[in-house]
Chain A
């Protein structure tokens, strides 16, 4: 059973455009929602994360929007750049002494120059 559903599987955006990746979760015990960025040949690395007590978090061109009632969260990349081309994973985890991330299946983003 997939606990975190991510869409789209792939995304092509023109330079300067907005990239939007969506995720939905089922387990209401999740209380931490990170996004990881993975470049080819590399391991995933934490990009930005949010907790459910806020509806939005912004870091530079990257913004997470969070809708607790709908159990959905999304990543927006403003002014997308070719260097943003990577695979993006949303994840969710719950506390209680440890945070073990459950990942979505990933979105391959290509930003054309």
Chain B
């Protein structure tokens, strides 16, 4: 397996624009996580899915953020409208879940909102 695949690797956008980040988890993994990494706050869990169903979105900072998982092999994180303070590295991770405890991370998307 190629691991968790995220796209794009880098995204530069203007304030107010819509941004969509994409993730393909490892096949067979039941859990998918979206994290945001900043210098100030470290790794923050935004939302996670179990079997394509959102379980906990309490980490989503504002209504401008939304995430979907239409099927087991694809998830999106959308920011609309984007703001400069959204600039960060966004990671998607997946896990087999249950007693298997390792989260496998993608390489991240570096988002810059100018």
Contacts and interface: CB of A to CB of B under 8 A. Distances in A.
A62 interface: no
Chain B's interface size range is: 20 to 34
Interface string B41-78: 11101001010000010000000000000000000000
Interface string B25-46: 0000001010100000111010
Interface in A87-101: 89, 93, 95, 97-101
Contact of A99 (B45, B91, B101): B101
Given A43-B107, A43-B108, A106 B43 contact: yes
Interface in A27-49: 32, 34, 41-46, 49
B105 A44 contact: yes
Contacts of B31: 98, 100
A105 B42 CA distance: 4
Nearest to B40: A105
Interface residues of A, number: 23
Interface string A72-105: 0000000000000000010001010111111111
Interface in A10-64: 32, 34, 41-46, 49
Interface of B: 4, 31, 33, 35, 41-43, 45, 48, 50, 56, 91, 93, 95, 97-108
